[in-house]
Amino acid sequence: MAATADAKRHAVEVVRRLRREYPDAVCSLGHRTPLELLVATILSAQCTDKRVNLVTPELFRKYRSAADYVRVPQSEFERDIQSTGFFRNKAKNIKGCCQVLVEQYDGEGPNGMDKLVELPGIGRKTANVVLGTAFGVASGIVVDTHVGRISRRLGLSEHKNPEKIEQDLMTLVPKQDWIALSHQMIRHGRRYCTARKPKCDECPLADVSPRLGVET
């Protein structure tokens, strides 16, 4: 999407409205350390944050370090995370990721995009979550289903590919707003801009939204 002056002004107004509406929006995945956030984010793929947050308290009591995840048998770990769905692949990725952390980073996660995306099961979305939330590094913008849907409806991107949506948002939104924006959009997607039957009549962005793709 072309970052015209009008498009940037529109994006700035959207950011201003979202900031005003959700001033306390933060990552909804429960965690205390970067490692816990990394694990929770991998578990959140194709799963709700609510479900992940039901699983992780016991999981984080049982596994306190990257080495703990490496040592546990695959079958046992699969049972621990089974309710999050796709548990075999998630277990493989988490154990593989932690193996690299133990071998190359003394059990601690790297704080750079280029190193994070080299870890098993880690893509840009997960890396952006960890870097932004755990380290305060604005490496990009987290694009989940809520952010993608809202970006298209607001006319901030016409793409469906998350990385292309992210690039559009990064050209339109000031860097200091990158980390908070995704959390605010997720809150907005849950409260008003739902996938089905969005509450446009109640939406605080209604007068600045073209409502692209919304059935009327």
Q: How many CA atoms lie within 13 A of 54 on its CB side?
A: 8
- Mean pLDDT per 10-residue section of the chain, whose length is 216 residues: 87 97 96 96 95 98 97 98 97 97 91 92 94 95 96 97 97 97 97 96 96 84
Task: In whole angstroms, give the CA distance from residue 127 to residue 122.
Answer: 6
pLDDT for the residue 128: 96
Do 135 and 110 meet the contact criterion of CB atoms below 8 Å apart?
no
Amino acid 214 reads V
pTM for the complete prediction? 0.92
Identify the structural domains of the chain with CATH numbers, from first to last: 5-25+143-208 (1.10.1670.10), 34-135 (1.10.340.30)
Task: In whole angstroms, give the CA distance from residue 129 to residue 56.
Answer: 17
The residues that are catalytic are 125, 144
Q: Read off the DSSP letter of residue 160.
A: -
First to last CA, the chain: 25
